[in-house]
Amino acid sequence: MARTFFDQFIPRLVVGFGAVSLLSLAGCSNPCQQICNELAAYATECDLDVDTTGVDQCIDDYASAGDAELAQCAEWGDGEQLREWWTCDDLADRYQQGGGAPETE
């Protein structure tokens, strides 16, 4: 079965996310890095304990995202849309799996 961008990208982002760092929100970021912050903020709203190191690593990993990936993140990275796709239970399952920052393919 072919995997969609959503199947590949979003789960990788969620694994290892942490609570939102004020510094990461204040700086410039690309659309993929904004997803890192959006999902971390959402996880915090869900009362999940997350580590800011995961958010920082996610932001670092997506600092050099390619044009195609940036376009997809811009299209799918809206905070409200992410909340429609993911429930707090979904996020909890991902956080409980542990792991580090997302791996790029």
Structure confidence at residue 34 (pLDDT): 93
87: amino acid identity, one letter: T
Mean pLDDT, 10 residues at a time, the chain of 105 residues = 52 44 56 91 89 86 94 88 90 65 39
The DSSP line for 23-52 is HHHHS---HHHHHHHHHHHHHHHTT----H
- Torsion-angle region of residue 47: left (phi > 0), alpha (psi -120 to 50) or beta? left
Structure confidence at residue 21 (pLDDT): 39
